[in-house]
Amino acid sequence: MKKIFIITILIGLTFSSCKDEDIINNPDLISTQASQDNLFAENIFNDVIYIIKESMQNSSKSKSCPDYNLINSNSSDIDTLIIDFGNSNCLNNGKLRRGVINVIFSGRYTDSSSVISSTFNNYYINNNLVQGEVVIINQGIINTGNTIFDIEVKNASINTSNGTINWNSTTNWEWISGKSTVEISDDSYTISGKSSGNGVNGNAFITTITNTLKLDFSCLPYCVIKSGLVKVSPDGYNDRNINYGDSLCDCVVEVIVNEESHPLTIIN
């Protein structure tokens, strides 16, 4: 009989961080740490991308959290948008946030060939410090009539209460619905690509999307990845697969290791 383990990923709370050389060098051992850490980082940066898109669209609106500061707004050159959540935690889109996201852009999110580059200044999500760079490039409209984006997360780190996750990703997003409306909540994308990182236990891993992910922003404030399959290859372990499930916004995924199923619940 297969053993089933229920593991909960809590943003800002606990992670397993045990590392033993005998364990790391045993590829048959059941461990879901790399899968947990990749899911955690992926969830953080999907949220960041939503915040960037929302802010570029709504930066003219007056809000108490965040405060928007648009510098040198000129369609003919590079401009800057400062998204400032302040020095104390404020609640935004279901998460506690503080600090600044700096956005430098050559055009609107919807403009073909526009480049949007974002960095962080003491930016925290649920008391986890987020660092690195996010680059979004609008590659224009393809023959399906959909807009595609190349999105890269560079030299990212997430400092948690139990260790640091280092993470990089290179993905392609196809905007499959919601483009015709001003609402962001009805936007959905398909995603392909890969990522790599080091988990809170210091162990390296790489991932590859083997069955296109479906991202749906209508799931907010819950998990936005509704379906798809990702292969995770941790150092010293056999490959395992993350199955995102059956198109529900339930934050439940399944990690399959050596044909055994290990459900993980991602809680925002």
173-232 pLDDT per residue, tens: 999 999 988 889 899 999 999 999 999 999 999 999 999 999 999 999 889 999 999 999
- pLDDT tens digits for 45-86? 999 999 999 998 876 676 779 999 988 766 556 899 999 999
Query: Chain-wide mean pLDDT for the chain?
Result: 87
pLDDT bracket for residue 107 (50, 70, 90):
very high
Q: Where are any strands of DSSP class E within 142-184?
A: 147-160, 163-177
At 3, the pLDDT band (50, 70, 90 cuts) reads: very low
Cα-flanking dihedrals φ and ψ of residue 38, to 5°?
A: -65, -45
Q: What is the pTM of this model?
A: 0.87
Q: What is the pLDDT of residue 28?
A: 47
37 within domain boundaries: yes
Is residue 150, in this structure, part of any structural domain at all? yes
Q: What local confidence, expressed as pLDDT, does residue 46 receive?
A: 96
pLDDT exceeds 50 at position 111: yes
- Percent of the chain past pLDDT 70, that is, above it, reads 85
Distance CA 94, CA 255 (A): 26
In a domain, 91, yes or no: no
Answer yes or no: is 56 within a domain.
yes
Judged against a pLDDT cut of 80, whether residue 114 lies above it is answered with: yes
User: Is 237 a residue whose pLDDT tops 60?
Assistant: yes
In a domain, 25, yes or no: no
124-172 pLDDT, tens digit per residue, is 999 999 999 999 999 999 999 999 999 999 999 999 988 999 999 999 9
With respect to residue 244, please indicate whether it lies within any of the assigned structural domains.
yes
Kindly report the CA angle at 258 between 257 and 264, in degrees rounded to 5?
Answer: 20
26: pLDDT strictly greater than 60? no
Q: Are 159 and 168 in contact (CB under 8 A)?
A: no
Q: How many domains does the chain have?
A: 1
Give a yes or no: residue 222 inside a domain: yes
| The two structure tokens encoding residue 172 | 């392609």
Closest by alpha carbon to 134, among 112, 113, 111, 157? 157
Query: How many angstroms separate the CA atoms of 14 and 31, rounded?
Result: 16
Provide the residue range defining the domain that includes 152: 7-15+32-62+126-267
Place of tokens 């991308």: 49
Q: Is 21 or 180 the better-scoring residue by pLDDT? A: 180
Q: Which residues contact 199 (CB under 8 A, 6 or more apart)?
A: 33, 34, 36, 37, 163, 165, 205, 234
Task: Give the three-state DSSP class for 76.
Answer: coil
pLDDT of residue 136: 98
What pLDDT is attached to residue 101? 98
Return the SS3 of 18.
coil
On whether residue 74 sits in a domain, the answer given is no
Amino acid at 118: S
